[in-house]
Amino acid sequence: AGVSNLGDWFGPQRTITCYLLLLFPCLIAPVATQSLEERCNRILRNMEASLTARDRVGIQDFVLLDAYTSESAFLDNLRKRFHENLIYVGASCAACSLKFNETSHYALADNVFRTMLSEFNNHFILISGESGAGKTEASKKILQFYAVSCPSTKLLNNVRDRLLLSNPVLEAFGNAKTLKNDNSSRFGKYMDIQFDHRGGAVGGHILSYLLEKSRVVHQNHGERNFHIFYQLVEGGEEDLLRWLGLERNCKNYRYLVQGDCAKVSSINDKSDWKTVQKALSVIDFSESDTEHLFGIIASVLHLGNLKFEADARGYATIKNNQETHWLLGIPNQVLQQGLTHRKIEAKTEEVLSPFSVEHAVYARDALAKAIYGRTFNWLVNKINESLVNQSESSSTKMVVGLLDIYGFEVFSVNSFEQFCINYCNEKLQQLFIQLTLKSEQEEYELEGIEWEPVPYFNNKIICDLVEEKFRGIISLLDEECLRPGEATDLTFLEKMEEKIGGHPHFVTHKLADKNTRKTLERGDFRLLHYAGEVTYCVVGFLDKNNDLLYRSGKEVMQHSKNAIIKHCFPSSEPDNKKRPETVVTQFKNSLVGLTEILTSKEPWYVRCIKPNESKQPAKFDDVLVRHQVKYLGLMEHLRVRRAGFAYRRKYEIFLQRYKALCPDTWPNWKGTPAEGVRCLIKHLGYKTDEYKLGRTKIFIRHPRTLFATEDAFQVCKHHNSSRVFVQTATKIENCWRGLMARKERERRAWAVKVIKKFIKGFMTRNQPACIDNSEYLAYVRQNYLTRLKENLPKSVLDMDSWLTPPPILKEVNELFMFLKNALAMTVLSMFKGKKENYPLSVCRPFVDTRIALEDINLKVLQTIQHEHLKYGVPVVKYDRNGFRPRLRQLIFTQEAAYLVEETKIKQRIDFTSLKGVSVSNLSDNFLILHVTCDDIKQKGDLVLQCDFLYEALTNLSFIADKQSCVKVVQGSVRFDIQPGREGFVDFKSGQESMVYRAKNGHLMVVSVDRKSNS
């Protein structure tokens, strides 16, 4: 079952916590037409109904687990749901599913949105889980839901598009392929979506956390650099690559090949490049911004290809100078000096100290990381500028925040980045438990129930170990980075052993017992996090925490002509006399700010769990899922929720479901819901320690009490349903039989009345119309017209096939005869006495058409059938130049005449452009169609020969409504070949019929003289 609004699990504020674990395809989408309370109650009723199948499909609400402290019971319940494809389960304030599911995200987003509008407060959705569990996809789907469901105006649509398209841009610059995930976010992201009082998205703001800059210069085997590098090389246009000095081969760039997997089957870099380009244009990046941005990306690749060699004195020099030409328009000499020398202040003067090759490589990589890191920050700020709220009417703003943050990470080798990420997860776990406890306490207080202290693991001891002033790991790391003298990673380890060596959650190789020491290297330390043990290698901690960029490197960047680089490395930037904050301190401060943001909003949670590492369907990896359940803190959350009462429901809902169990409350309770519940539980025999009655809800302590009540309800329901079914069936049968009998009586009375009227009308049918025969005569008229409709004449000139009307329709018969005569006279007026062979055609009956539909090419038929075909006849068409005869079809529609050659329409003559038709007075079958021809590209008049001349011309005159357009001429007919060119057809009598081109260039038509023959 799906989860819509789970607020009644937590108290009157409804949104205090909603927690979502993602398993597989969800079953229920949010119903937009229902109110918040209606959808909430429907979900709660469905949850009680699902208890009946708990042995087979598990329990939907984890809080109702009997063995709620057992990880095995928790996993067993997850496995049951997973194998039944019921991927959406809850932890009371929570819903759970394994792996990614769209509909469940939409349901959660819908609840957040509706609650925000109803309560006018701010919310955030925390999305977490390990790499590859679906966090990034979850945030995108939630964002897409808001984009589609929010009100739409031109301004709001602009904001919507920018919010949506910020994702592919940030993914390109901040995501990369790792061993666990082909699209892993290598930075944390918090996005505020701002809404006005009507629910329209009017703006947004993005905060980024701890970009993994070290990936720019180093990737582990099987991993890639950030997507944008590969997208530019693989998808960039040839002109762009030439301008940037790049080649379409990732293997040519050192920063792209260290992981040895430049190409990945699941990633389409060319397609993603097009998406990023489109997104940048929508987000309001100018063409200049885009050029400068890609220029920086290309420069990082060129920078990575710089090689150094030692000169005679052992100092570093650049080996391949050609690469420096492409580096951000920086003069070659300035760049070489900045990468191979360091400025040192000596009293009142500055001295250049040359680098060794090793130091030069370090300076190059540090500069590459600084360029990319600062450019990424510029990119986020640029996106934020485009998302600024520009709506003048939205004075009241509400916010929904989306936090897509890295999950707890445990690798074979864990370094500085994993330390920061896991510290972040410790802080979020601490916040999660605090908010859950707060929501529980608030609900108990509002319901007037005494709060009982909750036993749970408080990870404050671990947070203090990391962040405590002067004694925490962060303070010790900063102190070691800042102190004078030779500070190394190992001296940092020694200082930790000295200061925090006795802490129960900290151990090193030196401090460990004999068995533990076997699992630790000398440069390792181990922290016992809330999620389990993690061993960190101190190598690189000081360098990554310092993240130092030599002063000479900054000065080199200030010579760049690139506008973005000038912004990122301003000349006004203070020098290194005052040491900047370390990376871990900056990250710690940003987490403090993030915590303040989150605590000011109402929380909702999405916990993503992947069922297996191999991305296979229907495979449940117990070890992997157990690990994720542990580090996501689900068991701690469950302990907090089960510390008091496992189940709580509003009196109305509880009474509505279980009232059948008590005779006093069934079928309708007349008093208040609270009194009804008291009566019901008294009848059921609840013990006083099994429940508490609050102001609006009943609280049940143990799941077994609820299960017993539900089982009793099922027994009662089946017993009552059998008895009620028989009674209901009998009553329905009686009602149905009575209804059918009444209808039959009414039908017979009506039939008697109709038959009487019909007989009386028949008897008086020859009398003048009156009350007695009016309906009968109307029936006779209708019957005649119906028969006439089905037996109309095949041709307008058919004189003998009209049905004889009854005597009462004598005037109609006269009208039909007049119509026949009028049609006949039309044909007579056109040809009688004017054309020699007209008398011979009179005995030849007209037909509807001379060309059946199946004889017309399908392609032609599809082109003209919308104009309604009226008549078709085969003809011989004579070319305008040379008079060569060609077989054609002449087809008349409601609007035009078409000359057709097999599959092609050779000419279309609109009836409005038909000037006239010429025929000779002799016995030939020629006709010339004269058309309006103003354009030299238009075709001219048509010269045709038709064996059914009179039939074709009669149909043409009626269809085109041009009865006077046919002219009978003698001797010669002039016709237009095209504007400015004319031709002639000469007619004469002879001994035999002939058609040929005469010496004067005219078409000569010789016909047999019918008068002399007769």
Binding residues for ATP: 129-136
Q: In 10 A of CB 296, how many CB atoms?
A: 21
Task: Tell me which residue of 917, 549, 657 sits closest to 558, measured CA to CA.
Answer: 549
Contact 61, 91 (CB under 8 A): yes
Task: Tell me which residue of 971, 965, 966 sits closest to 1002, measured CA to CA.
Answer: 971
Determine the Cα–Cα distance for residues 20 and 6; give it in Å rounded to an integer. Answer: 11
Contact 24, 97 (CB under 8 A): yes
Please give the annotated binding residues, written as ranges. Answer: 129-136
- Backbone φ and ψ for 522, nearest 5 degrees, come out as -70, -25
Query: Percentage helix, strand, coil, to 5, in the chain?
Result: 50, 20, 35
Contact 269, 231 (CB under 8 A): yes
Task: Tell me which residue of 1005, 893, 11 sits closest to 444, measured CA to CA.
Answer: 11
Residue 718 is given by DSSP the state: H
Task: Tell me which residue of 362, 370, 341 sits closest to 353, measured CA to CA.
Answer: 341
- Backbone φ and ψ for 346, nearest 5 degrees, come out as -125, 100
Q: Which pair of tokens denotes residue 330?
A: 């920086």
Determine the Cα–Cα distance for residues 305 and 245; give it in Å rounded to an integer. Answer: 12
Q: In 10 A of CB 24, how many CB atoms?
A: 20
Within 13 Å, how many C-alpha atoms sit on residue 827's CB side? 23
Contact 617, 98 (CB under 8 A): no
In order, the DSSP letters of 581-643 are PPHHHHHHHHHHHHHHHHHTSEEEEEEEB-S-TT--TT---HHHHHHHHHHTTHHHHHHHHHS
In order, the DSSP letters of 265-277 are TT--HHHHHHHHH
Q: Exposure of 859 by Cβ count < 10 A (0-12 exposed, 13-18 middle, 19+ buried)?
A: exposed
Coil, strand or helix at 505: coil
Residues 6+ apart with CB under 8 A from 808: 765, 777, 780, 781
| 436-to-40, 255, 445, 724 alpha-carbon distances in Å | 20, 45, 14, 45
Coil, strand or helix at 67: coil
Phi-psi region of 883 (alpha: psi -120 to 50; beta: other; left: phi over 0): left
Per-residue burial over 338-352, b = 16 or more CB atoms within 10 Å of its CB, e = otherwise: bbbbbbeeeeeeeee
Determine the Cα–Cα distance for residues 1014 and 1011; give it in Å rounded to an integer. Answer: 5
Residue carrying the six token digits 């096939």? 801
Contact 432, 632 (CB under 8 A): no
Determine the Cα–Cα distance for residues 54 and 703; give it in Å rounded to an integer. Answer: 12
Kindly state the greatest CA–CA separation across the chain. 138
Residue carrying the six token digits 């947070």? 463
Q: Which residues pair with 912 in a beta bridge?
A: none
In order, the DSSP letters of 899-954 are EEETTEEEEEEEGGGEEEEEEESSS--EEEEEE---STTS---EEEE-TTHHHHHH
Contact 901, 888 (CB under 8 A): yes
